Amino acid sequence: MANKLTDARRVEIDDIRAIMGAESGRRLMSRMMVNAGVFRCSYNGQSNQTVFNEGRRSVGLFIHEELRECCPALYMKMLEENTHD
């Protein structure tokens, strides 16, 4: 069973690297993280909206960590290519 998990994780890592290997994939991942609110505060003074924002941000943080773990150099390239002012 451990080998299956290892194999499954290897496939996930390969998939992430394939997406990040293309400029369009890096653009998409950047847009998803920005839309999820990874780089901004979730709190807005209204508890229901803050909880919703934190749920969305949680998904973005998962993507963020996957990218940093699986392909750190391509993650940095994505940041350089997709600066959001």
Q: Tell me how many domains the chain contains.
A: 1
| pLDDT tens readout for residues 43-63 | 999 999 999 999 999 999 999
Q: What is the structure's pLDDT at 2?
A: 58
Domain extent, residue 76, equals 2-81
CB contact at 8 A, 51 and 85: no
CA atoms within 13 A on the CB side of 77: 15
Q: What is the structure's pLDDT at 84?
A: 58
CB contact at 8 A, 83 and 30: no
If we measure between CA atoms, which residue out of 70, 74, 60 comes closest to residue 13?
A: 70
In tens digits, the chain (85 residues) has pLDDT values of: 556 778 999 999 999 999 999 999 999 999 999 999 999 999 999 999 999 999 999 999 999 999 999 999 999 999 999 985 5
